[in-house]
Amino acid sequence: MSFINETHDVALKSWVESANTGKSDFPIQNLPFAIFRRKGSAEAFRGGVAIGDQVVDLAAVATLFSGDAATAAKAASEPTLNHFMSLGQSFWSALRLALSKALREGASEKAAIEATLIAQEDVEYDLPCHIGDYTDFYTSIYHATAVGKLFRPDNPLLPNYKWVPIGYHGRSSSIGVSGQTFPRPKGQTKAPDAEAPSFGPCKRLDYELEVGIYLGKGNALGDSIALDDTDSHVFGFCLFNDWSARDLQAWEYQPLGPFLAKNFASTVSPWVVTNEALAPYRTTWLRDENDPQPMPYLESEKNREVGSYDIIMDVAIETAKMRAESAAPSVVSQSSFKHSYWTVAQMVAHHTVNGCNFQAGDMIGSGTQSGPLHEEAGSLLELTRGGKESITLNNGESRTFLEDGDKVIMRGWCEKAGFVRIGFGSVESTVLPAK
């Protein structure tokens, strides 16, 4: 099964030279979408597409296209991508193909588009869409097992984990775009030896390395999305840092799950890499033969063959001391989305099997993506074994959990023999002192 088309051709080059270096996150084979405006301006935010180190201003070039591509470009020129996302797969693909052709070497549209390009270093971003609802899943069995061992050494995985994709309804109002800053959250915590809880700033602030999945065309209330139909509803992907206050979480999570430990901030990368762009990096999804096999509504040949995505991700910490000394951030871990126990298709199918209705712009968080090795952990909670072992950064500083002034930088990319490397850019956000 293949979703590969001419837009993925490794031989394609762009007349935008910065897209052809082999090191750019945004070659012509990528073409991700964002909402932007010139930095520090009062311009209206509008849709743009990344090519090399430039942004194609869709509002300025929409008239160059025709048919479905023109309809899509006009919708994508709006202050959010929701309308564009709602149009569906045929419109997304039409615009992607039109942009690919217009940005290729020798394209007749070069002069018209070149005059509208804006350097990425000169723009600022807004959220790519209005996120009406967001659900955070728990799809990494390695993360679930490592965290479970901290609380239940003899029974780290709860009985339902291998049967059902676990998720909870998150708070969309506190999701911000890369560059987000937020004060250290406050709340109740309870030390193991204390008779009563106390109130104050959290002491165990953590990041979570996740993939964000944006839904495009929705489904009506009462209707479900079949496993093999999910590609027509999944618009694209981003990097997602779902911040967590671990000490608040430990006290409050029973019996209803995350609350104040999760709702104070979450950060997304500005660029949305489309599902179509990721086609070359889809891979087989496997379930251990000794584990329960998925129920029929979560099982198909297509999901087995191309259900996983090999998105490589890493996490770096930049401390205030590093910034003061112009030192490079310290990379602390690297993992891949291919290790996910449940696929994107399974998350979408399960989310709607009860008739839950998605709307364009709704987002799914994958849950913390940790690999099978300890150094592939997607959170400090795992890397420090619950805060018992500190990690040492490149400049000699150490961390068990995050300190005020720390910036967390997450990057993501895909690479595969026979195809061009594409990337997600980064998602960066900084912890401020508690108010």
Q: Which residues are annotated as a binding site for Ca(2+)?
A: 136, 208, 210, 242
Amino acid at 328: A
Helix 89-103 / helix 67-76 crossing angle, nearest 10 deg: 90
Of residues 239, 404, 246, 207, the one with CA closest to residue 319: 404
C-alpha to C-alpha distance for 310 and 284, rounded to whole angstroms: 10
Q: Binding site: which residues? A: 136, 138, 152, 208, 210, 242, 249, 253, 262, 266, 368
Cβ contacts of 38 within 8 Å, gap of 6 or more: 118, 122, 123, 124
Q: Binding site for Mg(2+): which residues? A: 242, 262, 266
User: 113 vs 27, 106, 107, 116, 324, CA distance in Å?
Assistant: 16, 13, 10, 5, 40
Identify whether 143 is a catalytic site residue: yes
Of residues 36, 230, 208, the one with CA closest to residue 122: 36
Q: Binding site for substrate: which residues? A: 138, 152, 249, 253, 368
Residue tagged active-site, from 143, 233, 350, 351: 143
Amino acid at 284: T
Over its C-alpha atoms, the chain yields an Rg (Å, rounded) of 22
- Asked if 369 and 143 count as a contact pair (C-beta separation under 8 A), the reply is yes
Token pair, residue 336, equals 């891949």
- Angle (CA) 10 376 378, round 5°: 95
Catalytic residues: 143
